Structure formats: C-alpha cells, structure tokens
Amino acid sequence: MSELEIKKEVERQFEILKRGCEEIISEEEFKKKLENSIKNNKPLKIKLGIDPTGSELHIGHAVPLRKLKQFQDLGHEVNFLIGTFTARIGDPTGKSETRKMLSFETIQENIKTYLEQVKLILDLDKLKVVYNHNWLEKLTLEEMLKLLSMFTVSQMIQREDFSKRLSNNQPVSLIEFTYPILQGYDSVALEADVELGATEQKFNLLRGRDLQKNFNQEQQVCMIMPILVGLDGVEKMSKSLGNYISIKDTPTDMFGKIMSISDELMQNYYEMITNIPLEEVKDMLANHHPMECKKRLAFELVKEYYGEETAKESKLWFENVFSNKNLNVELPEVKFDENEMPALELLSRLKFISTNSEGRRLIDQGAVKVNDVQIKSINEVINLENGTIVRCGKKKIVKIVK
C-alpha cells in the first residue's frame, strides 16, 4: 500500500472505531498503532476484561462487545479476558462496600452462560478467550510485592469510589487496592495494544498503561466507553433496577421495551446500539415523527439479535396490539394456578413493576387494565380466568392461561 492508501485506511478504521467512545487515551497514539498495524500487516491486540460475577447480559453489556466485533471485522486480534482470578477478589468499582469473593465453581458456571450469550454478538472462531488465573496464580510473593511497590496509597485513594468510602468512614480492604494493579498486569501479560472499558473503569485502564511502561512495553491505548442509560432514562442500565433489555429477551419484549423509552434517549441509543450512520440518525430525528424513529430503533435492535424477518414480525405485532388495538394476534402468555389475586400482587408476579410504590402509581394513573376495564385500587381482586388480558401502561400486555 502507498503512504496515501495507508493514511486513508487509518482514517477509515479510526472513524469506525471511535464511534460511541467517551474518550480515547490517546487518539494520536491510537492512529499511530493503526498505521503500524496496517504497514506491517500485524493485527492489534485488543483486550476486554470481564469478571463473570453474574449470568445475564443486557444491551448495556453489549456496548463494548459490539466494539470488539468492529475490531474483529477489521482483522484485529480480540482477546476476551475472563477474570477467573480477579473475580475471586471482586472489582470494587462503583461499589459502596467490599464485594464478596466468589468460588471457582460459581465462576465456572457463569463463564458457560457468558460465552453462550457472547456468541450472539461476537464471532467465537475469531475470538481468543483467555483466563487471568493462568498467569496471576503463578506470581510469586516477591513478584507481587514488586508490583505493589510501583504504586502508592495516595494514588489508590484518588479513585472516586475509594475516596468516597474513606470520607464516609467506610472500610476499604487492602485486597481491593490490588484489583486495579492485577487488572493492569493482565495488560502486561497479554502485551495489549488497546483495552476497552466503561467510564467507571478509567482508573484501572490507566494502571495498565503505568505497568506496561514499567515493564518496558509500548503503552496500551485506553478506549473508554460510556455506560448505557437504562429504560428509565435516569440510572445506568441494570438488572437489579429492572430498567434493562436482556440480549436474550423475546423479540416482542425487545421491541416493546425500546418503544417505552423517552424521546430524549433515542440519539444515545441509536449511537450506542446500532450501526446506522450518525448523519442519517441526525436527519431522521430532525425530520420524522418520534414514534416512527422509535420503531426504527426497535426494529434495528431486534434485527441484530434475531434477523430481519423476525424484526418485521415484531414491528407488525406491536402495531397490531398497541396502534391498531387488534388483539387477534398471539400475545405473551402467563400460566396461573390461582383463580384470583389482588391487583398489586398480580403486577408484581407478572414482573410489570419492580416496586410496590411503582404499582400504586400506575394504578392511580389509570394505567392498569384487565380485559380493557381500568383497575382503580391496589387491593382490587382480579379474576384470573383463562384468556384474561392484563395491560400495564402502553407497552406491557399478557394473556392469562390456565
């Protein structure tokens, strides 16, 4: 390739990869790495580390995974690092207390579930899965002390979550100080060129740069990804808050959940969870009705996980049920053995609400209907006959079956 062709290819890859990034440390270094990679036909080593502490991935988790897919498609080496050692410590990032250590058995179970879901986004044939117990368990006490000597206590307490806890007289264990150091050492072990992480991981990612410099390696580029805001438009997407879309949700659930977000969230969601060119997104949001823009967003999300035909079916289903109010379509079904149940308990059992106060608010607002009859009290007893249709708000609907 000529110098001009190389320069064009660097810019092409950079434009693809910078999309959706909060920060790249540094852009100049990243472009230089891309240039050397293209010139020498040597793929960059990309690192994303996860601790398998849970079992269900949502589309917020998918944001960095989609970035890895872009690296895969551009021919780079993607290292999916599973923290089989560090998960036993628990990443303290964003936590107000020390996390419990996980057993190796629990970690192994979570790994299986993770990889089953990851393959919905990444090409496993092009994915290098690595486990950090393979090198961290081999560190001698002397080597570990040498690592610790490269950092100071004052550096560690610069982390926002550590400093907050200390100012509130909450304990921070010494083992938590080792977590960012061990994560940084992972980058040394892999000789990583680029590490991906969420904004709350920035401190840890920079420790990888520090350690690589100390080990006379070329420093990794830190690609900082924003945290996806949940469906409520306020908190980060989280299973515990109930404001999430699982990557294994049914197509109709995915579609309906996207339709429930605020208009203000659409720009961010289009940028983070789709590949539609941003100029096209900008034009669409400026010149089309928000409902149509939201349908397109929901369509694109379902298409990514289930294909175009299923996305079309989900769109048609949504329009039939919620726009045309045609209930002669297949509705999600929930089986109940009980013949009756108080309204608030029913909403909870159907997982339509995450708290009782939310249920009270929805009923007070007239948002809950059974067979198209508005429910007026949280204590109203609902007859659960076969075929009963329960609606909650604009986007949640099920049919009771016996």
Q: What is the pLDDT of residue 324?
A: 61
- What is the structure's pLDDT at 96? 43
**Which secondary structure element, helix H or strand E, spans residue 136, and what is its range?**
helix 133-136
Q: Is the CB of residue 40 less than 8 Å from the CB of residue 95?
A: no
Cβ atoms < 10 Å from Cβ of 346: 27
Q: What domains lie within the chain, and their CATH numbers?
A: 3-225 (3.40.50.620), 249-323 (1.10.240.10), 333-400 (3.10.290.10)
Return the residue matching tokens 């040498």: 146
pLDDT at 240 over 80: no
pLDDT at 92: 52
Helix axes 290-306, 278-287, angle to 10 degrees: 140
> Does 239 carry a binding-site annotation?
yes
Q: What is the mean pLDDT of the chain?
A: 89
Read off the pLDDT of residues 29-81 as tens digits, 9 standing for 90 and up: 999 999 999 999 999 999 999 877 666 789 999 999 999 999 999 999 999 99
User: What mean pLDDT do residues 260-279 have?
Assistant: 93
240 or 81, greater pLDDT: 81
Mean pLDDT to the nearest integer, 229-255: 88
Whole-model pTM?
0.79
Where b means 16+ CB within 10 Å and e means fewer, 305-344 reads bbeeebbebbbebbeebbeeeeeeeebeebebeeeebebb
